[in-house]
Structure 1
Amino acid sequence: MSLIPFASQRGGGADLAAHLLNAHDNEYVEVADIRGAMAGDLHGAFAEFEAQAQAMTKCKNYLYSLSINPDTAQGPMARALYADYIQRAEEALGLHGQGRAVVFHIKEDKRGVLREHCHVVWSRIDVQECKAIHMAYDYDKLMGVTRAFARDHDIQLAPGYYKLEDRKRQNYRQLSLYDKAQENQLGISKQERMEVVTELWRQRDSASSFVQALEYHGYILAQGKRPFVLVDIHGHTNSLPKLIDDKSATTKAVREFLGDEYSEETLPSVEDAKDLAAQHLHALKDQEKSRKIHEQLERLGEVYKIQREKLESQIEAKRALHEREKSQQSKDQLTLRIAVSRHYVNKAREIRAEREAAKPKGLSAFLAKASGVELLRSHLHKYNDAKARSTFLKDRRALHEGQRIERLELERRHNMQRLDQERQRRALSQTQAKEQKSLRLSLERSRAVQARRGQPHMPAMNLTLGPPGRKAAVSKAKNRHTSPLAQEMRKRAEPAKKMEQGDLQLEFKLAAEMARKQAEDPSGKKPKKIDPFKPHDPDRGKGRRR
């Protein structure tokens, strides 16, 4: 079982989450673990990581994405081994304890075999230090982790982990994102394209035949930021020397071989070549394939409708729960306020009743009033009543303030849940858009493969110009369609061309009328057949006798 890790620093958490949750490109998607985030889904977790990056740092590539791809030809890889490798990678990269998400995918490879692989995405933001973790020499660290992991678990590594001679190592390098996008759209790997172009280069005999061979295999030779750029039918660009698997095929060698006929000054620009390729690709579009795309998108739309209805029902249930919680809180707070007021009123009544029961009567009442004790008792009761009322008002204000804070907390919690629902809506839309894009890309790839009819290259451009015998020139084909000068000349030539056509038709009519009159015979004989478009000579064919 070989093991190939691929890692990169990146931003765009929403796009990455939609890619990881894409159910069209994968037969099976499992979010195995989310750590260091309050949200329980990928979109929410990556949104939290992005918020941390924006609030604490200026880091734009706040995520570190690692994909672990075992070789299915050597057997499946157990989940315990995945966990061991992830732990080793965390320790080596300095990402231990960071927020992360682990996603498992199962998809079909080119041979139709189901292949399981794992994606691990860490947050690079250290919330304790308020800084982004520097990822220095991460490629070398992952190579060391992979070698140690393979040694401990008796795993055979891919050839790319060993020292290779010459340019053989090029065959085992990881594809760039641009090359991967080309392969996904065309159904042709970079190695296959290099084999085709290299074979054309080795069989070359002249510059014109080499360029024509490139056109037959679906490439236009153009001039861009670098000399000699190949533009394919889908608008992808590649450097011609880089597609030739030969150390001697340098830019200087290609320039000397192409000569002045295809120099950098005479070649079309990349933009013009892309326009010409787009016109040719548009001509190859099949309406039946468009109908199939429409049908599959409609079926996919029915699935999306069910998903949206399910999400909307959950949102509606949560909204009803919010209303019930808000109503119940208002009722409970009102009940508590009424209870506190009643307790104060009842306590005041009990105190007055006790005072009435303890009030002196008869001679004792007369002596208390005469001695001033009754006056002092009255002042003491008023003081106690005022103190009790002040305490009650203070407690009531504290109760109102506490209930206001409770209402604010409930409202804040409801708002957060509503924002989370809106985020779920956006996440569902992003995931569905990603799946639709993947569907279109897969259908486009199958259409391209079908259009090639088993050929290992793209459809021919067919840029040969007439009349027969004229050499094919991409710049002339380009100018024929896009040159402003050619367009202006065609506009100016149209009136003259129409007038010339009208004069020719008039001459043809006059010639036909003249031929008809000359062919008339008064004796009633059958008129002679005369070609009206050839000069008529009545004495033609009559010889003189000597």
Structure 2
Amino acid sequence: MILVGNQRGGARDLARHLMKQENERVEVHELRGFVAGDLDGAFQESYAISRGTRCKQFLFSLSLNPPKGADVSNDQFIRAIDLAEGKLDLNGQPRAIVFHEKRGDDGEVRRHAHVVWSRINVEEMKAVALPHSKRKMQDVSRELYLEHGWKMPKGLAVSGASDPRNFTLAEWQQAKRTGQDPRAIKTRFQDAWAISDNKASFQQALQERGFWLCRGDKRGYVALDVHGEVHNIAKRVGIKTKEVKARLGDKDALPSVAETKIEIARTMHPKMQEFRQSLKDQSQKEEEQARQKQSTLQVKQKAQREAFKKAVQLRGQAEERERQNRFRGGLLGLWDKIRGAHKRTVEQNAKEVEVSQRRDNQERSQLSAQHLSQRKKLVKEHVEQREENKAQSRSLSEDAKVFKNMEIGATKDLDAEKEAFKERRRSSLRPRRRSRSRDGPKIER
């Protein structure tokens, strides 16, 4: 069931649209929470209440369109509306439900529904916020398709971006970190089943979601994920085995688990090589970036040291001029020496020089410590990145080894299956020996 909704105003226009007689039949099924007894009056009532707020789009209108050929009862429509209401947090808000029956171009009469809620919360006198309403309605629509077993439109199914054959290195690493959520696995199987109608389309839909369809040894129809784990189709989709058999046909036409594991391993070998090359290119790029950062930092720090050295020199010269200006010349200077003022000035200047030198040394030490900290941080980032790349390289090597072992083990299993089959065939063709009596041949007299 496709759900399309939007916020809007225009109460009178909406009421006229919903009551148009171009439909074969129009039925106002429910008016809940309104004083008025007709659609136009109910929407005008919502408009009057909205005047007490600043909300202009005081209504939320939703259309519910079942798939072609589906026979949907009133109760099923109401359940769908209740689901949407809960998702939108419009529980208890005044609403109107209208059913339409309309003849299509093919001459078939189709039934659909409209529901309109008032967004204004009367107790708080503000509009109910409806964030992400489109995504929420898609979720409800998906749930209804799965619940009723209708064939789901491809645009509504969850994206099939789980195919490991299409992963980038970053996506592969993320998939390994996050693991596999059982609920997400079940959803991918249900989506693949909902958008397919035969074995070929189901097989394609599964592969787009990272699974390979095959013949199980004991479970009938199964699928393998990229790690070789076996998933029962009926259990994952949530249907009976006979329904799976009816759609997929003879399971003997499917490859065995061992054959599928070999296919997965041989498919993923080049992907692992691609990942390793991607990691190598990434590491080289990061090494070059690290060298550039180091070179840039060296130039920057050298300029800062030169600027500091020049600033200290200029400041020292200015301070020295200030100290020298304290000495008076001529008779006044002689008088300062006689009365001891000159000596006190010399001592004051000496103390200030000592303080200035300590200050300069302290600032120089702070700058050196700052530069050292920056270099250490840069080196640390480089080392951490290098170690992370090494860990990723080891992980990719382990993954490649897993796929190699998967192929070797599956090949052995397949060879054993073939040998067992040959032995059964030889046994069936071998002539049976005639049994002899222990008492020897009978001689008739």
TM-score by length of 1: 0.35
Computing the radius of gyration from Cα coordinates, the structure with the larger value is: 1
Q: Identify which of structures 1 and 2 has the higher relative contact order when contacts are C-alpha pairs closer than 8 Å and 6+ apart.
A: 1
